[in-house]
Amino acid sequence: MTPPAAPNGRLAVFPGSFDPLTNGHVDIILRSAHLFERVIVAVLVNTEKQPLFTADERIAIVREVFREYPNVEVDTFDGLLVEYARQRRASAIVRGLRAVSDFEYEFQMALMNRHLEPALETVFMMPAEQYTYLSSRLIKEVFHLGGEVHGLVPPAVERWLREKSAVGSRQ
């Protein structure tokens, strides 16, 4: 068996469901793109919850938002994150920390990932304060109930949300 190639110290993976991408995610991706030579936004295909956006839609959104950032790549993954990171030779996983409430889940995940792959480091980043209350779940709920999400998600996401609700109301 060939040993895995050495990880690339300048390559990070930012994994998530991105259902949908929020300005909080965008903030973290931009910070990562400054810190690392290359960032892979890794969209989890089979989430436990039924996603609103298909994997292709979630990818199209990230691609559109970061089309002018050559060091931001979008990809999908399934199965174990550490396995995906190993295949891509990434040396770090980036996760955003919004509040203390995120900590326990993120801490557990980071330590489990370290147990599975000790060479892979998890790097936490804080988004700008105005995004600390944002989550994809809340965006979907607020939009669904007729609330304003302008400024909380990229324009591409607003457009897709409107499109989805128009299709839904025609059915």
Q: How far apart are CA 38 and CA 71, in angstroms?
A: 5
Residues in 27-56 at the binding interface with ligand PNS, rule: CB under 6 A: 44
Q: Is the peptide bond before 20 cis (omega within 30 degrees of 0)?
A: yes
Q: Which of 17, 95, 136, 140 is catalytic?
A: 136
Using CB atoms, what's the residue nearest to ligand PNS? Answer: 16
CB 31 within 8 A of CB 125: yes
| Residue pointed to by tokens 């591409």 | 156
Residues in 80-109 at the binding interface with ligand PNS, rule: CB under 6 A: 80-81, 109
Q: Which of 31, 88, 95, 98 is catalytic?
A: 98
H-run or E-run covering 13: strand 8-16
Binding mask 104-133 for ligand PNS (x = CB under 6 A): -----x--xx--------------------
Which residues contribute to the site for ligand PNS (CB under 6 A)? 15-17, 44, 80-81, 109, 112-113
